[in-house]
Structures are given as structure tokens and as C-alpha cells.
Structure 1
């Protein structure tokens, strides 16, 4: 394929290349990979989220960078990639959740909400005059079937996970999740795992630039900076104990 033909496929969101690829979707995934990472962990009693925030200047207020969102009392989200694109998807998820409550008088299921969001994302991969969303989401919460955790990627594909990372540095973070996850984790242990995994490549683990939240039967709650520091210290101590035991 010469360069001019490839550029033609680059420009179209609704055109497959001869090798079956949609380049604009792949570029959107690259935008996600360049974003700050977020992590979700499903536990026996809820879902834990952790995220890193990047600021462009020391004068920028870090709390103004949104990575974690409350969708409803029982559902939260985390985003990687273009924040503005993620915000549009979060707004759509919030509207759908409220419509469900008004129409049926009950909270929406996490899987049903994920399907609604993935349908919206997928539409932008097949219509002319649009581009794919340059963001990926994690959607997690507690519904009638228990704790659930899903990912949504720029192609509109939704997948259910026990623990997952999206964004920059995903490979090493996912390895840390796979090595540390067990099915009997409670919510505090899930938070420690999420925070430990997202800082696995850091020279020195610190609560600076980190944010976390948890969703349980008691609802959605944000974890404050002091609690994050304590959880990180507990995770570091547990890893040191495990290392000493292995020697």
C-alpha cells in the first residue's frame, strides 16, 4: 500500500483498510495509552478505583484534574485519555442512570449502564463526520448481582474484569494486579492493591498526585489524601514482609 492510499484510510472513521483495520480507532487507543493511568479492582464487598493525576505546571491545582467520577450512589467511573471526551461519556452515563431511576424507580445495573456507554462509543466508529472518543473508561459498582467492574475502550468494546488498568504504563501495572489479586480481597485490601499497582514503577511511592474512590453497599465515597498515604504505607509494609519471607 502506498502512502497516499494509507492516508485515505487514515481520514475515515467508517472505512476499513485492506487489512481490516480502522486507523482512527487505533489512534484513539494511542491517545488513551498516552494518558495517566487508572486502576479498578473488584472485591468481595465493592469496587476500588485509583488514579494518577498529571498537571502541566506546579501552579495548577491538582484537584481540578478529574480522573474519578461519581455516576450514581452505587456506580463510579475512572477515565484515561482525553479528559473532555471522558467527561462527555460520564455525562451520558449519569443521564442514563437518572433516567432509569425516574422510569423504573430503581438503580440501573452496572452491566446495563456499560452497554449503553459502549453503544454510544461504537456509533462514532461507523458514522461519517465524527471521530472516535479519545478516552477509555472503567465503570464499577454494586448492583443486585454484587460488585461488577467493566472497561470501555474507544472501539466501543466492553469487557468485565476482576482487576484492570488502562492508560500509560498499563503493562507493568497489570502485571502487579495479576500477581497481587485474590478472590477473597475485601475493599480495603482492594484499595491497597490498586494504589500499590499504580505506583509500581515509581522510584518512591507517595500519595502526591494520587486519587482514589470506593463503591460498596454504603454508596460511593472518595478516599482522602491522608487515607491514601496510610494505605500506601500498609501496602509497602506488606510487600517488604513478603520479600523477607521469601529470602
Structure 2
């Protein structure tokens, strides 16, 4: 049988037990610009490379604040990410209005997983062509969740998705033991170093194409939260300079960027 007999909708399995439209949605994620997330005992950090479609256009946003304690990074179709981010904002607001408390991150990740998985059960719908890294801080501390188009969500200590993300994952795996005890600034620097591993030779991290999102606890063991904030432009300059200083001192660097997809 030709493969095309089984990829016309998202509810038909191939004889090998595969759903091709879900796999196609995963390919859209792999072509998006890379985003990196990592956590310590006190903070959760997202780092992303922004793209502009042409010289005359602005850079597309990669990080979004969902509530004061949670944010996300996207890789894939920005329009699909907007649908999911609006759904998450509504759920967080509903939680605060109904229970007067912040939405637990594990529950929020499960809700978007259920919403995405429904699209693989009903004829005429398609999977969301976007991957998300959802991060933030709740009553149990910092968390990072990976969302995939199939509806799978899983908690991660560190993660990277998007084009050339395997190189960032390799860096994260090598340095995983260091993250738990890192403060905010050192955790951001680890994220930037992982991001630099994905770059191609003619590209580099700049204040124009780099976004950083941070949430955390103000002091270890305290309930006071450092709300999720997206840092762009001049706000990221000091972090970029500190990573550049590491490179000049003999630290590991590989410059460049990935393939194209984010709208």
C-alpha cells in the first residue's frame, strides 16, 4: 500500500500503527527555530532564537507570558501556538476566579495535552503543528514541561526543541548535574551556551534575535515568587556579554542558527 492512503486524516492508523499527520506536525516543530528550557532548585529559564522572515520584517516572538507564574516558548507554527496560549490563559484565569489560586503547572500541561489529543480522535481536524516548552513556578517549586503535537506532555529537567536542537540537548546532558544548584544568572548562561551550540557558522546571538524568560523563587525555600518575565533587547545584553567573555577565556562556543519555519 502507498503511504498516502493513510495520511489523509489524523484518525486512521497505517498498518504499522502510525498516524502520519501527527508525524507531519512533528516535522513542523523540527523546522522551527530552537528554544531551550532548564530548571534549578529555585528558577526556571527559557532561552530562544527569534527569526525574521526578511530584512524588512520584525523578529517574531518566541516567548509568551501565560500567567504571572508561568510562560512558554514555541517551536513550529506561531498561529497554532497562539491558539494554545490563549486557551492556557483562559484556564489560568478561570482557576484564579474560581479557586483564588494559581494554576498548578502539571494540571495546565495536562489540559493542553488533552486538548491537542482530541484532534487525533475526530475526523476533519488536524494536530497542532507546534511544540511548546511550558515553564514556571508553583507551590511545589520550578517546573518545565515539554508539549508535543501528539498531545504528549512530560516534565523535564532540561529540554530543547526545534531545528538543530540535538546539539543543545547534548550540551544539556553533559552539564545536567550542574543545573540544580545554579542561581538565576548562571542558569541563564547555561541556556545561552546550549543555544550557541545550535548555531551555524555565519550566525551569532545578538540582542535583536535572543529572548530570555525567567521565573523563580526569590529566596530558596520561600513562597515568594519571582514572576515570569520575558527579557528582550537591551535586557539580555549583560547575559550575552558574560557568555562572550567565557568564549574569549576558552569556553566552548559554536556559532550559527537553524533552518526556517516559525511564521
Give the superposition deviation at 1:178. Answer: 1.7
- Identify which of 13, 17, 21 aligns with 1:20: 17
Q: Does 1:11 align with 2:11?
A: no
RMSD between aligned residues: 1.6
Distance in 2 separating the partners of 1:225 and 1:197: 20
- Residue of structure 1 equivalent to 2:52: 55
Distance 1:243 1:220, change over 3 A: closer
Does structure 1 residue 231 correspond to structure 2 residue 228? Answer: no
Q: Which residue of 2 aligns with 1:132?
A: 127
TM-score scaled to structure 1, two decimals? Answer: 0.92
Q: Does the aligned pair in 2 maintain the 1:206–1:229 contact within 8 Å? A: no
Does the 8 Å contact 2:64/2:230 carry over to 1?
no
Gaps of at least 5 residues in structure 2 are 217-224, 253-263
Change (3 A) 1:158 1:201: closer
Unaligned 5+ segments in structure 1 are none
How much has 1:59 moved relative to structure 2?
Answer: 0.8
Residues 199-238 of structure 1 aligned to structure 2 (within 5 Å): 199-202=196-199, 203=201, 205-207=204-206, 208-216=208-216, 217-238=225-246
Deviation at 1:211, TM superposition (A): 1.0
Where does 1:1-247 land on structure 2 (aligned, <5 Å)? 2-3=1-2, 6-62=3-59, 65-181=60-176, 182=178, 183-202=180-199, 203=201, 205-207=204-206, 208-216=208-216, 217-238=225-246, 241=249, 243=251
What whole-Å deviation, never above 9, does each CA across 1:186-223 have from its counterpart, x for those lacking one? 22111111122112243353323111111121201122
SS at match of 1:129: coil
Matches of 2:109 and 2:167 in 1, distance apart? 26
The total of aligned residue pairs comes to: 239
Aligned 8 A contact 2:165 2:198 in 1: no
In structure 1, how many angstroms separate the alpha carbons of the residues matched to 2:191 and 2:28? 22
Counterpart in the other structure of 2:259: none
Separation (CA, whole Å) in 1 of partners of 2:231 and 2:53 = 24
CA separation of 1:242 and 1:57: change in aligned 2, threshold 3 A: closer
The answer to whether the 8 A contact 1:36-1:52 is kept is yes
Give TM-score scaled by structure 2 length.
0.86
**Structure 1 Cα separation of the partners of residues 42 and 80 of structure 2:** 30
Partners of 1:23 and 1:88 lie apart in 2 by 22
Structure 2 Cα separation of the partners of residues 139 and 226 of structure 1: 24
Choose between structure 1 and 2: higher helix proportion.
Answer: 1
Cα pair distance change 1:25/1:158, threshold 3 Å: same
Once residues 123 and 41 of structure 1 are traced to their aligned partners in structure 2, the CA distance between those partners, rounded to angstroms, is 29
Structure 1 stretch 208-217 or stretch 107-116: which is displaced more? 208-217
User: Given that residues 38 and 159 in structure 2 are in contact (C-alpha distance below 8 angstroms), is that contact kept between their aligned partners in structure 1?
Assistant: yes
